Amino acid sequence: MSNMEILLDCIMDLGQQMLICGGEVHWIEESLCTILRAYGASQTDVFIITSSMVVTVHTKDGEAYTQTRRISDATSDFERLHALNDCSRWICAEHPSPEEIRAKITSITTKTKQYPLWLNFLCYAVIAAAFTLFFGGSFTDACISFVVGLLMRSAIWLCDRTISNKIFTKFFAAFTATLLSLLSLHLGFVAGVDKVMIGNIMTLIPGIGLTNALRDLFVGDSIAGLLRTIEACIAALCIAGGFFAAVFITGGAGL
């Protein structure tokens, strides 16, 4: 393999990790082009959507190399994304060898701080309680929403460990939150259930995905923007479907 081909493989690793962490498509495309030009590429063609990357680099001696990556995972890890962004700047400034680049990417992906699971559960519960208060709920409503948030996050954890399907996870989480909210009303813990339900459902809304989708559309990445918009809309429909399924099963008592 030539040096440029090895370099392209390393840069593809960097772009893949950026996309997995929730980076904007336009920004990732620009970063990869800048890095490859810094290493002497005469032309770079980068095409990225949420599930695929295709990069072609042309060298000054007339050679062309193309690589494709399939992206099957995605999350929102801004701490790791920030580290990868710093890595791209370091590559452009220092021109390290492909081996050094690969070692740096491996160090970022393996040593980025991982927050404990209990803290993730706690944050879901606190955010749910805060939204309940924000939308006019009482302190009692917020306490019930806190407990429902913990149980809803447990349902998400269970789905991730068994089915690992984002669409079903959204549906099941909304179903669980609505069912538990109606149960709290039936047991007399709260006088009204709407504030508890909306507080928990707000934690499921795909706000980051929709924001990135709109930004991609505004900068001209129409395909990536449309795909992310569709993903966000499907997630919203699954949340609504979980809510209506729980209401239908319980007969909508108390609504």
The domain spans of the chain are: 3-111, 117-250
- Is the model's pLDDT at 253 over the cut of 60? no
At 54, which helix (H) or strand (E)? Answer: strand 52-58
For the chain, what percent of residues have pLDDT higher than 70? 97
Residues, the chain = 255
The whole-number pLDDT of residue 73 equals: 75
3-state secondary structure of 204: helix
- Is the model's pLDDT at 247 over the cut of 90? no
The tokens describing 215, both together, are: 């930004």
What value, to the nearest 5°, has the Cα angle with vertex 196 and ends 194 and 197? 65
- Is the model's pLDDT at 54 over the cut of 70? yes
Q: How far apart are CA 149 and CA 165, in angstroms?
A: 20
Q: What is the largest CA-CA distance in the chain?
A: 77
201-232, pLDDT tens digit by residue? 898 888 777 887 888 788 777 888 888 888 88
Side by side, which strands form the sheet with 52-58?
43-49, 52-58, 64-70
The whole-number pLDDT of residue 32 equals: 92
Comparing 134 with 212, the larger pLDDT belongs to: 134
The whole-number pLDDT of residue 110 equals: 83
- Is the model's pLDDT at 149 over the cut of 60? yes
61-119, pLDDT tens digit by residue? 888 889 999 887 777 788 888 999 999 999 998 889 888 999 999 888 887 677 788 88
In the numeric block, the tokens 């508890």 are attached to: 196
The whole-number pLDDT of residue 71 equals: 85
The whole-number pLDDT of residue 252 equals: 61
- Is the model's pLDDT at 2 over the cut of 80? no
Contact 35, 96 (CB under 8 A): no
Own/partner contacts of 86-95, CB < 8 Å, gap of 24 or more, are: 87/14, 88/14, 88/31, 88/34, 88/35, 91/14, 91/35, 91/38, 92/34, 92/35, 92/38, 95/38, 95/39
- Is the model's pLDDT at 166 over the cut of 70? yes
The whole-number pLDDT of residue 255 equals: 55
Q: Nearest CA to 117 among 156, 80, 166?
A: 156
Average pLDDT, the chain: 87
Average pLDDT rounded to a whole number, residues 4-23: 89
The tokens describing 126, both together, are: 């606190």
Burial class (CB in 10 A: 0-12, 13-18, 19+), 31: buried
Average pLDDT rounded to a whole number, residues 27-53: 88
Residue type, 36: L
The whole-number pLDDT of residue 223 equals: 82
